[in-house]
Amino acid sequence: MKHTVLKLMAGWGLVFAAQAESTVRLNNQDAQKPVVLWYDGRLAYEGVYVQVCASIAAGPWWPVASVEGAREVFPLSEPGYFDAGVGVVPFVVPERMLVDFQVFAWQGTADGWDDSVVKGQSVKWNQWVGSWDPGSGLPASGPVLEIPGNIVLYALPEPNSIALGILGGLALMVRRWKVAKIPGK
* pLDDT single digits (tens) 66-120: 998 889 999 999 999 999 999 999 887 666 688 999 999 999 887 777 888 889 9
Domain ranges, ordered by start, for the chain: 20-157
Dist CA 87 CA 132 (whole Å): 10
The pLDDT assigned to 165 comes to 76
Banded model confidence at residue 7, pLDDT cuts 50, 70, 90: very low
Region 120-133: what's the mean pLDDT? Answer: 91
3-class state of residue 164 by DSSP: helix
Concatenated DSSP letters of 73-110: SEE-SBTTB-EEEEEEPTT--SSS-EEEEEEEEEES-T
Model pLDDT, residue 117: 85
Strands 35-37 and 151-155: parallel
| Residue 56 CB coordination number (10 Å) | 18
